[in-house]
Amino acid sequence: MQFNHDNMTGARLAAHLVGLVPEWSGSRVQRALAAHDIRRPELDDRAVAELLGWTLVVREVFAATSVADTCAAVNRLLQQGTRTAYLSTHDGRRPHLHFTPEDDDLVGRVRSVTAGGLALFVVEAEGRRLGLCARPGCPRAFVDTSRNGTRRYCSARCGNAVAVARHRDRP
Ligand SMILES: [Zn+2]
Ligand SMILES: [Zn+2]
């Protein structure tokens, strides 16, 4: 399966934010927004708190275990997080969808890019390929763009840790 990486900013940002929840802070959120090309990522305390609330709703998409539940969770995001839909070519980029007016505030733009981005990804991935890391205690989420789509961990590091623990526990 080939994914259009231009469409994936929102899904990747969503997964990144979910992984920050246990250690949520303004500086971490700021770095995540900058890493995913969110423009004008100036945060104040109110925005940091509002984005935490939003990220807890976003997390439900990654926690969903059936296609129907995934779609329902994304629909809640679309309802709460998007205001419109139009194509933009800002900054010389290829045409891509925006889901809120360009002049929306930071929280509104993060909500719309994560809601719309997850919706686009769910369409392409047929409702699968989003999940929470299967290593106990790991808070991170992942977007699975692998060839076979059977990813279960946020990283090779978590997968290896589980394999090592399993080996150690063998009778
Ligand atoms: Zn854009
Ligand atoms: Zn993990």
pLDDT tens per residue, range 83-140: 999 999 988 988 999 999 999 999 999 999 999 999 999 999 999 999 999 999 999 9
pLDDT > 70? residue 58:
yes
| CA of 113, nearest ligand number | 1
| Ligand lying nearest the CA atom of residue 36 | 1
Distance from Cα 138 to the centre of ligand 2, integer Å: 5
The pair of structure tokens assigned to 95 is: 């045409």
Give the pLDDT of residue 91: 87
Q: Is the pLDDT of residue 6 over 80?
A: no
Decide if 157 contacts 135 (C-beta within 8 A).
no
> If you average pLDDT over residues 66-76, what whole number do you get?
98
Q: How far does the centroid of ligand 1 lie from the alpha carbon of residue 169, in Å?
A: 48
**171 — pLDDT class (breaks 50, 70, 90):** confident
Rounded distance between C-alpha atoms, residue 118 and residue 62, angstroms = 10
Please state which architecture CATH assigns to domain 5-129.
Orthogonal Bundle (1.10)
User: Ligand 1 center to residue 101 CA distance, Å?
Assistant: 11
- Cβ contacts of 26 within 8 Å, gap of 6 or more: 43, 45, 48
Q: Distance, CA 132 to ligand 2 centroid (Å)?
A: 8
**Nearest partner of 1 among 101, 128, 90, 138, judged by Cα:** 128
Ligand with an atom nearest the CA of residue 152: 2
The pLDDT > 90 percentage for the chain reads 84
